[in-house]
């Protein structure tokens, strides 16, 4: 789910990946409105498990797509 505009009223640094999830929802920086700035002393890296999951899903997708026979598909 993405948002054209997103307003953030407060930040929680206690929940894993929360800042990343919130920021990943906005489609353009111009659509992001913050009532409080991010704390520059806090770190909020993307969780390794999430990165690994996304990599595994991309590999699975590619394997499935490589197995599809499109030789008789109409040209568009």
Domain count, the chain: 1
Name the residue among 22, 35, 28, 23 with its Cα closest to residue 4.
28
0.75 surpassed by pTM:
no
Per-residue model confidence (pLDDT) at position 2: 64
The answer to whether residue 24 is domain-embedded is: yes
List the domain range (segments joined by +) for residue 40. Answer: 6-67
38-57 average pLDDT score: 86
The answer to whether residue 27 is domain-embedded is: yes
7-11 average pLDDT score: 80
The answer to whether residue 43 is domain-embedded is: yes
Residues facing 73 on adjacent strands: none
The answer to whether residue 72 is domain-embedded is: no
- At 1, the pLDDT band (50, 70, 90 cuts) reads low
The answer to whether residue 63 is domain-embedded is: yes
Cα–Cα distance measured from residue 14 to residue 24, given in angstroms and rounded to the nearest whole number: 18
Cα–Cα distance measured from residue 11 to residue 45, given in angstroms and rounded to the nearest whole number: 15
């Amino acid at each position: 789910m993405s948002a054209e505009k997103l307003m953030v009223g407060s930040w929680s640094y206690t929940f894993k990946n929360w800042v990343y999830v919130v920021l990943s929802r906005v489609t353009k920086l111009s659509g992001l409105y913050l009532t409080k700035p991010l704390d520059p002393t806090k770190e909020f890296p993307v969780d390794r498990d999430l990165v690994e999951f996304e990599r595994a899903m991309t590999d699975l997708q590619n394997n499935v797509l490589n197995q599809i026979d499109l030789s008789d598909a109409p040209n568009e």
